[in-house]
Structure 1
Amino acid sequence: MSIVIRGAKVLGGAAADVLVADGVIAEVGSGLTADRVIDADGLVLLPGFVDLHTHLREPGREDTETIATGSAAAALGGFTAVHAMANTDPVADNAEIVEQVWRLGREAGLVDVRPVGAVSRRLAGEHLADLATMARSAASVRVFSDDGKCVHDARLMRRALEYVKPFDGVVAQHAQDPRLADGAACCHEGEVSGRLGLLGWPAVAEESVIARDVMLAAHTRSRLHVCHVSSAGSVDVLRWAKTRGVDVTAEVTPHHLLLTCDLLTGYDPVYKVNPPLRTDEDVQALREGLADGTIDAVATDHAPHATHDKDHAFGEAAFGMLGLETALGVVAEAMVATGLLDWAGVADRMSVRPARIGRVAGQGGSIAVGEPANLTLVDPAAAVVVEPARLASLSRNTPFAGRTLPAAVVATFFRGEPTVLHGALATAEAKA
């Protein structure tokens, strides 16, 4: 069935009709006809979003999320591709596990699920995982990360950077020096942590690892990606490295663009996340870094947790927040409403660059004839109240519960097929 998306503002610019047929964009123009017409007057058409950092929890913690439910949450958030992190149980440190994740993603059929392979065996930080075998597997892994843990051993990090070069892989680092971030630390070290009596870890725990790793990337001439940048100092280090031609990219989460450590005053564990929420000064630096391209991408770090893992005293609660279904609204509030990014800029940071970093074929392309029809249709004038019970995720740990966010995903198209229509998962009847 062919579909015309009629009158959408392409990348927020001029309105046009976009004809989708046989999984690709067949024509862009005006007065186009098709088997089905979707009225997009006043809506913005963007390439489908690509998330470099998603925790889908399968295998091992299917009580908190599955690849199917996580894929549904991703589609509702406007995503057409997600990278599933390796810290599952068992760890995705071999071809068998990454191929299992890849197959389950294909079976769900809502987004392109790209498995991330572990850097070290069992995330132990001692011996390299079999990176080449995962790269050559059916899953074609190109991103490797021990996320949740830092590859703190410099020698191991150097070897990983060298090892991924032949297959154009990238090492995605969770930058956090374990000697500076005590195991009991639970929030940003600063005035708030001192006043609340919470053990914090300083921003330098992140910044020092990034500084080391950009030097290693320069030495090995390999690709480095920095996960969930959270501090102003980290932005400074990245800016310095990029001016010197180091092949480094970085991501920021939506929650680090909007929330600060002042929210911890109520000891609500929903705000416990790693890296921690930091100060307003850090938030402003992150926004500026994303706007000027020092930070390349927005990545959700979608981290679903069961209530019994999150509902504890702050220090004992699990780290992490949901992110897939609220990412667009948070970016719209933090970046678009403030004038720091236009919709073309949102497309660049949430689709084009993430796809390029992850080497995801068929994603993050231009809205042009012949390109795969992985698309997101957004209502920029919408206002949505976040209701945890209505989320597609199996978990409910969103820090935005009850908050009104601007903009909304109206429709998502994956390989030319509508996965979301009218803001809801598309049923067979709705697609017809």
Structure 2
Amino acid sequence: MRINRTRLQKHLEKLAEIGKIGETGVCRLAHSKEDREAVEVVKGWMEEAGLTTKIDGFGNLIGRMEGTEKDKPILMLGSHIDSQPYGGRFDGTAGALGAIEVVHTMKDNAVIPKRTIEVICFSDEEGSRFNKGVFGVRALAGLLEEGELERKDKNGVTRKEALKEFGVEPDLSESPVYQKGDIEAFIELHIEQGPVLESKKKPVGIVSGISGPIWLTVTLEGFAGHAGSVPMHLRKDAMVGASEIISKFDRLIKNEGKDTTVGTVGSVQVFPNSRNIIPEKVEFTIDLRDIDLEHRTKLEEKLYTIIEETTSSYNLTHTISEDTRSEPRYCADWIKNIMKAEDKQLDLDSPVLMSGPFHDALFMSYISDYGMIFVRCEKGISHNPLEFAEMDDIEKGVQLLYQTALRIAQGEKA
């Protein structure tokens, strides 16, 4: 039983038109009108695939196909359809629409699963609007934190206001939705967002685990003054301090990190942000990841020393807030073994590789066994309109997803 490549490609192309920027880019920020439009379109495709649908109070779109054995823990498939503000057409959507195609192919072939199957398009995976993502999946798993609904975007809109504008009434008391034991397996297909598969000349990869991310926001405060009159040795320049910390952090990761370690400063805010005023306050983000938790901890401690020493030398004060912290999470061996067996049947010879980026699957791992399939993307480019995956590769990945899902849906388990 083969998936319907033509149908899947049409869905990918149609979804890419919603929030389109330029020729190939996409901007569908979480809970925005573009996000809502996309959810409505995808909801229709779920229903065409035979799924009963709902949009929950966290903005998740959920489709359900009832199995014949109601007592069995369910199989869950999915990803996300929100995007970065300067994003591509395949990040999240390949997995979300691929999951719908899996169920649609079952319907086309009159397959009635033993396990109930749920397909989910998770709300706000990206985190770009409210500076904290994977909101929908964390809500389902009971991993939300205090103040989630009060977080504001750059326009001062709170998440609660945005969700209401989106069309739902958020109620954090409904979290968690699922408990351990409710879900037998969660499987997510995603573009790799890295260059490993391309370097190996392989269209598909089987994921071994996901690196654990730490997201920090560092705020440095000095004192503003006239750029033309305050002598250099009397300045408390927050920008200079931030620049030194960022540079030393980069060298730390390059010199002492492993092959699996990555560190990034991706956002910087300056106050008062004027050409002829010494910067008084600088806020910047730090993203540190490694699949080796012990090594990540050592680097984090060295980072804090760098911040302490630098702010002291420039007479600055600093605060560090923790936005996200997750340990590395490994894919279930029994799911990987099914994937490997089906991969052999498809003659894909897919390598096993780790994921540096985190995904919804990382947080599903706290309540369920999980597995992931990666699809090759050109030059490893993602979070960029140039992001591209060949349809041939997506088809192979979704076919592997289908065959893996079919075995689990018909009763296989750990």
TM range (shorter): under 0.3
Higher RCO structure (Cα 8 Å, ≥6 apart): 2
Task: Give the TM-score of the pair, scaled to structure 2.
Answer: 0.27
Q: TM-score, normalised by structure 1?
A: 0.26
Structure with larger Rg: 2
